[in-house]
Structure 1
Amino acid sequence: MRALLLLGSMLLSALASASPMLLLTQQQAPYSVQMADGSQQGLALQTIRCALQRSGQTAVIRFVSWSRAQRLVESGEADGYFPASRNPQRDERALWIGPAAQQQWRWYLRRDSRLDPAAPEFIQQAKVGAYAGSNMHQWLLDHGYHISVSPPGHDQMLDVLLAGRADAVLAANLAMEALITSRGAENRVRSVLLQDKPLGLYLARHFLVQQPQLAEQLQQQMQRCYQLPR
Structure 2
Amino acid sequence: MLFALITAPHAVANPTKKIRLAAPIFPPYIFQTNNKWDGVGYHTVNKILNNANITYEIIPVGNYGKALDALIKGKVDGFFPATQNPVRDQHAQFSQPILINRWVWYMPNSEQLTPDMAEFKQQRFVSTPFKSNTHVWLSTHGYKVKGTLEIDNLPNMLLKKRLDAVLISQLVFETSAKNHKIPMHNFKQIVHSEKGFGIYLSKATLKNKPELLKRINQSIVELDNNH
**When the two structures are superposed, what TM-score results if normalisation uses the length of structure 1?**
0.84
Residue of structure 2 equivalent to 1:11: none
Paired positions, count = 211
Larger strand proportion, structure 1 or 2? 2
Distance 1:204 1:184 in 2: 40
SS in 1 for 2:219: helix
2:212 corresponds to: 214
Instruction: Give the 3-state SS of the residue equivalent to 2:94 in structure 1.
Output: strand
Counterpart for residue 87 of structure 1: 85
Distance 1:152 1:30 in 2: 15
Q: Does structure 2 retain, via aligned residues, the 8 Å contact 1:70–1:81?
A: yes
Give the distance between the partners of 1:206 and 1:120, measured in 2 at CA: 42
Give the structure 1 partner of residue 125 of structure 2: 127
Say whether 1:177 aligns with 2:174. yes
Query: Whole-Å Cα distance in 2 between the matches of residues 49 and 157 of structure 1?
Result: 29
Aligned match of 2:50:
53
For the pair 1:154 / 2:151, whether they are aligned, the reply is yes
TM-superposition CA deviations, 1:107-131 (whole Å, max 9, x none)? 0112332232243432223221212
Cα distance per residue 1:169-190 (max 9 Å; x no partner) = 1100111110111111124323
Q: Contact 1:44 / 1:200 at 8 angstroms: preserved in 2?
A: no
Bigger Rg, which one: 1
Q: Which secondary structure state, in structure 2, belongs to the residue aligned with residue 90 of structure 1?
A: helix
Q: Distance in 2 between matches of 1:153 and 1:218?
A: 32
Match of 1:30 among 23, 28, 31: 28
In structure 2, give the amino acid aligned to 1:214. Answer: L
Q: CA–CA distance in 1 between the matches of 2:204 and 2:153?
A: 33
Q: CA deviation at 1:99?
A: 1.2
Matched, 1:100 2:98: yes
Give, in angstroms, the shift of residue 205 of structure 1.
0.7
Q: Residue 227 and residue 153 in structure 1: after superposition, are their counterparts in 2 closer, same or farther (change >3 A)?
A: farther
Deviation string for 1:76-105 (max 9, x for gaps)?
111111111000010010111131211111
Corresponding residue SS for 2:107: strand
- Name 2:186's counterpart in structure 1: 188
Residue ranges of structure 2 left out of the alignment (5+ in a row): 1-14
Q: Give the TM-score, by structure 2 length.
A: 0.85
Give RMSD over aligned pairs: 1.9
